[in-house]
Amino acid sequence: MNAVRILVHAPGAPGLRWLGLGPGFRPTRGLWKLQRLLDQHTFWARGRSRAQLRRMLAGSAAVVSLWRGQRLVGFGRASSDGVFRGVLWDVVVPDDLQGQGLGRLLVEALLQSPPLRDLERVYLMTTNSAGFYRQLGFAQAPDQRLMLKTAALPSGCPSRWPAGRSSSPDCS
Protein backbone atom coordinates (compact mmCIF):
# COMPACT_ATOMS: atom_id res chain seq x y z
CA MET A 1 0.00 0.00 0.00
CA ASN A 2 1.24 3.51 -0.80
CA ALA A 3 2.61 5.61 2.05
CA VAL A 4 0.70 8.73 3.00
CA ARG A 5 2.19 11.98 1.74
CA ILE A 6 1.56 15.25 3.52
CA LEU A 7 1.37 18.34 1.35
CA VAL A 8 1.71 21.66 3.13
CA HIS A 9 0.53 24.05 0.45
CA ALA A 10 1.66 27.62 -0.07
CA PRO A 11 -0.81 30.19 1.29
CA GLY A 12 -3.87 30.15 -0.93
CA ALA A 13 -2.83 26.74 -2.36
CA PRO A 14 -2.38 28.09 -5.92
CA GLY A 15 -1.27 24.77 -7.42
CA LEU A 16 -4.24 22.87 -6.03
CA ARG A 17 -6.58 25.75 -6.76
CA TRP A 18 -5.71 26.37 -10.40
CA LEU A 19 -4.08 23.17 -11.64
CA GLY A 20 -5.44 20.52 -9.28
CA LEU A 21 -1.89 19.56 -8.33
CA GLY A 22 -1.28 16.72 -5.92
CA PRO A 23 1.91 14.99 -4.77
CA GLY A 24 5.01 15.60 -6.88
CA PHE A 25 3.33 18.70 -8.32
CA ARG A 26 1.46 16.43 -10.71
CA PRO A 27 -2.05 17.25 -11.93
CA THR A 28 -4.45 14.90 -10.12
CA ARG A 29 -7.81 16.67 -10.51
CA GLY A 30 -7.21 17.76 -6.93
CA LEU A 31 -9.96 20.35 -6.78
CA TRP A 32 -12.52 17.86 -8.02
CA LYS A 33 -11.26 15.33 -5.44
CA LEU A 34 -11.51 17.96 -2.71
CA GLN A 35 -15.09 18.70 -3.72
CA ARG A 36 -15.93 15.00 -3.58
CA LEU A 37 -14.22 14.56 -0.19
CA LEU A 38 -16.21 17.42 1.33
CA ASP A 39 -19.45 16.27 -0.31
CA GLN A 40 -19.13 12.68 0.86
CA HIS A 41 -17.47 12.97 4.26
CA THR A 42 -18.65 16.18 5.90
CA PHE A 43 -22.08 17.43 6.88
CA TRP A 44 -21.22 21.14 6.84
CA ALA A 45 -19.35 21.52 3.56
CA ARG A 46 -21.57 19.71 1.08
CA GLY A 47 -22.60 21.29 -2.17
CA ARG A 48 -19.74 23.77 -2.46
CA SER A 49 -19.02 24.51 -6.10
CA ARG A 50 -15.49 24.35 -7.47
CA ALA A 51 -15.58 28.11 -8.02
CA GLN A 52 -16.41 28.56 -4.32
CA LEU A 53 -13.67 26.12 -3.33
CA ARG A 54 -11.15 28.14 -5.36
CA ARG A 55 -12.15 31.29 -3.50
CA MET A 56 -12.04 29.41 -0.19
CA LEU A 57 -8.49 28.18 -0.88
CA ALA A 58 -7.38 31.62 -2.04
CA GLY A 59 -8.52 33.01 1.31
CA SER A 60 -6.83 30.33 3.44
CA ALA A 61 -3.48 31.09 5.03
CA ALA A 62 -2.70 27.42 5.68
CA VAL A 63 -3.82 24.44 3.60
CA VAL A 64 -2.76 20.82 4.15
CA SER A 65 -3.75 17.80 2.09
CA LEU A 66 -2.92 14.12 2.61
CA TRP A 67 -2.47 11.74 -0.29
CA ARG A 68 -2.14 7.99 -0.65
CA GLY A 69 -1.02 7.55 -4.23
CA GLN A 70 -3.46 9.64 -6.25
CA ARG A 71 -6.19 9.46 -3.61
CA LEU A 72 -6.92 12.51 -1.46
CA VAL A 73 -7.11 11.01 2.04
CA GLY A 74 -7.29 14.13 4.18
CA PHE A 75 -7.77 17.86 4.03
CA GLY A 76 -7.68 20.78 6.43
CA ARG A 77 -7.17 24.50 6.26
CA ALA A 78 -6.84 27.52 8.52
CA SER A 79 -7.12 31.25 8.56
CA SER A 80 -4.43 33.18 10.44
CA ASP A 81 -3.03 36.66 11.06
CA GLY A 82 0.41 35.07 11.54
CA VAL A 83 0.95 36.45 15.05
CA PHE A 84 -2.06 36.34 17.33
CA ARG A 85 -5.05 34.37 16.15
CA GLY A 86 -5.88 31.53 13.79
CA VAL A 87 -8.88 29.27 13.17
CA LEU A 88 -8.95 25.72 11.84
CA TRP A 89 -11.57 24.86 9.22
CA ASP A 90 -12.79 21.87 7.19
CA VAL A 91 -10.67 19.12 8.76
CA VAL A 92 -11.73 15.83 7.20
CA VAL A 93 -10.54 12.26 6.66
CA PRO A 94 -12.67 9.81 4.58
CA ASP A 95 -14.86 7.49 6.65
CA ASP A 96 -13.07 4.31 5.59
CA LEU A 97 -9.67 5.66 6.72
CA GLN A 98 -10.64 7.21 10.03
CA GLY A 99 -9.05 5.92 13.23
CA GLN A 100 -5.64 5.30 11.60
CA GLY A 101 -3.89 8.46 12.70
CA LEU A 102 -4.48 10.53 9.55
CA GLY A 103 -6.49 13.20 11.34
CA ARG A 104 -3.71 13.67 13.86
CA LEU A 105 -1.11 13.95 11.06
CA LEU A 106 -3.26 16.52 9.33
CA VAL A 107 -3.86 18.77 12.32
CA GLU A 108 -0.25 18.55 13.49
CA ALA A 109 0.92 19.59 10.01
CA LEU A 110 -1.49 22.53 10.05
CA LEU A 111 -0.38 23.63 13.52
CA GLN A 112 3.29 23.42 12.52
CA SER A 113 2.82 25.26 9.23
CA PRO A 114 4.38 28.77 9.07
CA PRO A 115 1.08 30.70 9.28
CA LEU A 116 0.08 28.93 12.50
CA ARG A 117 3.16 27.81 14.38
CA ASP A 118 3.85 31.04 16.27
CA LEU A 119 0.28 32.03 17.09
CA GLU A 120 -0.87 32.94 20.58
CA ARG A 121 -4.17 31.14 20.07
CA VAL A 122 -5.72 28.70 17.65
CA TYR A 123 -9.50 28.34 17.66
CA LEU A 124 -11.79 25.76 16.14
CA MET A 125 -15.44 24.84 16.14
CA THR A 126 -16.53 21.24 16.29
CA THR A 127 -19.83 19.41 16.58
CA ASN A 128 -18.76 15.79 17.12
CA SER A 129 -14.98 15.73 17.38
CA ALA A 130 -14.07 17.49 20.64
CA GLY A 131 -12.42 14.28 21.91
CA PHE A 132 -10.19 14.18 18.85
CA TYR A 133 -9.02 17.77 19.37
CA ARG A 134 -8.52 17.26 23.13
CA GLN A 135 -5.92 14.65 22.27
CA LEU A 136 -4.13 17.31 20.24
CA GLY A 137 -3.92 19.80 23.10
CA PHE A 138 -7.13 21.78 22.59
CA ALA A 139 -9.47 22.43 25.50
CA GLN A 140 -12.97 23.78 25.75
CA ALA A 141 -12.76 27.57 26.18
CA PRO A 142 -14.08 28.19 29.70
CA ASP A 143 -15.33 31.76 29.49
CA GLN A 144 -16.11 32.31 25.85
CA ARG A 145 -19.22 32.02 23.75
CA LEU A 146 -19.42 31.30 20.09
CA MET A 147 -21.28 34.17 18.39
CA LEU A 148 -22.63 33.89 14.88
CA LYS A 149 -23.89 36.12 12.13
CA THR A 150 -25.32 33.95 9.41
CA ALA A 151 -25.61 35.08 5.81
CA ALA A 152 -28.87 34.43 3.99
CA LEU A 153 -28.68 30.82 2.84
CA PRO A 154 -29.13 29.89 -0.78
CA SER A 155 -32.51 28.36 -1.41
CA GLY A 156 -32.44 24.61 -0.82
CA CYS A 157 -29.55 24.78 1.63
CA PRO A 158 -31.41 23.43 4.67
CA SER A 159 -32.68 20.45 2.73
CA ARG A 160 -29.10 19.19 2.31
CA TRP A 161 -28.75 19.30 6.04
CA PRO A 162 -29.28 16.54 8.60
CA ALA A 163 -32.28 17.04 10.87
CA GLY A 164 -31.63 19.57 13.61
CA ARG A 165 -28.77 21.26 11.79
CA SER A 166 -30.66 23.45 9.39
CA SER A 167 -29.49 26.60 11.13
CA SER A 168 -25.79 25.75 10.95
CA PRO A 169 -23.58 28.65 9.89
CA ASP A 170 -21.56 26.28 7.74
CA CYS A 171 -24.33 25.55 5.28
CA SER A 172 -22.81 27.13 2.20
Interacting residues with ligand COA (CB under 6 A)? 41-42, 91-93, 98-104, 126, 128-129, 131-132, 135
CB of 81 to ligand COA, least distance (A): 21
By beta-carbon proximity to ligand COA, the closer residue of 15 and 67 is 67
CB of 155 to ligand COA, least distance (A): 26
| Residue nearest ligand COA, CB atom distance | 103
By beta-carbon proximity to ligand COA, the closer residue of 61 and 93 is 93
By beta-carbon proximity to ligand COA, the closer residue of 15 and 38 is 38
CB of 115 to ligand COA, least distance (A): 19
DSSP string for residues in the chain: -PPEEEEEEPTT-HIIIII-B-GGG-B--HHHHHHHHHHHH-SSSTT--HHHHHHHHHT-SEEEEEEETTEEEEEEEEEE-SSSEEEEEEEE--GGGTTSSHHHHHHHHHHHSTTTTT-SEEE---SS-HHHHHTTT----SS------PPPPPTTTGGGSPTT-TT-TT--
CB of 132 to ligand COA, least distance (A): 4
By beta-carbon proximity to ligand COA, the closer residue of 15 and 57 is 57
